[in-house]
Amino acid sequence: MDPRSYKDILTKSGHTYHTFVSPPKDASKPTLLFIHGFPSTSYDWRHQVAFFTKAGYGVVAPDLIGHGGSSKPPSLEHYAPSRIAADLVAILDNVKAGRVVAVGHDWGSILASRMAMYYPTRFSGLVFLASGYCPPLAGFDLKVVLAHQREHVGAELFGYWLFLSEDRAKGIVDAHLESLLRLWYTSDPGLWKTVLAPSGQLEPWLKADKKAPLASYITKEDETRMLADWRKAGGLGAALKWYKVMASDLMGKDDIAVDGKFQLDAPVFFAGCTRDHVCIAAPSENIVRQFCPKGTVQHFDTGHWVHLEIPEKLNRALLQWLETAVGK
């Protein structure tokens, strides 16, 4: 990702987004808006950027606020999905991108979902990787959700959110960045089932500075760059605010404005990851089949980071979907 293709875009909210921008080389092809999750930056999309720019598509890939080179506001309300959705639309306006295809991963899938609800005319298609389409969460209560998971799934899936939403998490995370990186990008997806999913396991793992085996798709250069980017940004404290949004009542209140807007009319592609033990594929597949009449579901034998683990296979699948379901 050529550093010369980055722009620092100031939105009306006063936040600056460090954004990779490449206009379409083929005027008949849409622009793709890539939206990352935690603890990522736009760098996570390096394989997709290379592939789709070569194929003639436009690309817009911002560092979300709290991450990378973008603003890191201290107040939690700035991280409300409705506000960030408005910022991302402002970025599209800035680069003169009309209707686009949003590609979300992790938290980015929630943002893509909200953008489609607030600004449906701006999207000709939506892609959800690992974490699927997220209907409105008015009244969302994390502890109630964890109890529901224990009862109906047999185990917690989002237990680590509780720790990462606490104020003390910043100091612990920033003191053990390599431990966190190797757990998030581990070659052993089963560790997510035992360390991330259940409450109370992530904190002692980090404090012990344990190092999980690193996935082969993360090179030494990738690891060095990610750690350097996190340290340059002052650590991951601002990025952790995304967890605070979910653990507080902010998400539930923010979604009141879109409560009842369940159906997505645009074409949807969901990539379910069969070895992701946090964002398990089955519930997201059911949601897509229920609320996305133009939905396509495809499963991949990967962990959470499908776009990094098997980029060529995923890119080809997305290209075929773009050419058939979305059109040229």
DSSP secondary structure of 261-310: -----S-EEEEEETT-SSS-HHHHHHHHHHH-TTEEEEEES--S-HHHHS
What is the spatial distance between Cα 181 and Cα 196, in angstroms, rounded to a whole number? 13
Q: What is the pTM of this model?
A: 0.96
Asked if the model's pLDDT at residue 69 lies above 80, the reply is yes
Asked if the model's pLDDT at residue 328 lies above 50, the reply is no
Asked if the model's pLDDT at residue 160 lies above 70, the reply is yes
* Model pLDDT for residues 162-204, shown as the tens digit of each residue: 999 999 999 999 999 999 999 999 999 999 999 999 999 999 9
DSSP for 72-114, written as a single string: --SSGGGG-HHHHHHHHHHHHHHTT--SEEEEEETHHHHHHHH
Mean pLDDT of 44-63: 97
User: By C-alpha distance, which of 13, 91, 24 is closest to 52?
Assistant: 24
What is the spatial distance between Cα 51 and Cα 27, in angstroms, rounded to a whole number? 17
* Model pLDDT for residues 268-278, shown as the tens digit of each residue: 999 999 999 99
- Given this model, what pLDDT does residue 1 score? 84
On whether the CB atoms of residues 308 and 37 are closer than 8 A, the answer is no
Pairing mode, strands 100-105 and 31-35: parallel
- Given this model, what pLDDT does residue 321 score? 97
297 alpha-carbon distance from chain centroid: 18
What is the spatial distance between Cα 182 and Cα 3, in angstroms, rounded to a whole number? 26
What is the spatial distance between Cα 262 and Cα 133, in angstroms, rounded to a whole number? 10
At 49, which amino acid appears?
Answer: V
- Given this model, what pLDDT does residue 189 score? 92
φ, ψ of residue 242 to 5 degrees: the values are -60, -35
In order of their start, the domains of the chain are: 3-137+256-326 (3.40.50.1820), 142-248 (no CATH)
The strand pairing partners of 273, in sequence order, are: 300
Q: What is the mean pLDDT of the chain?
A: 96
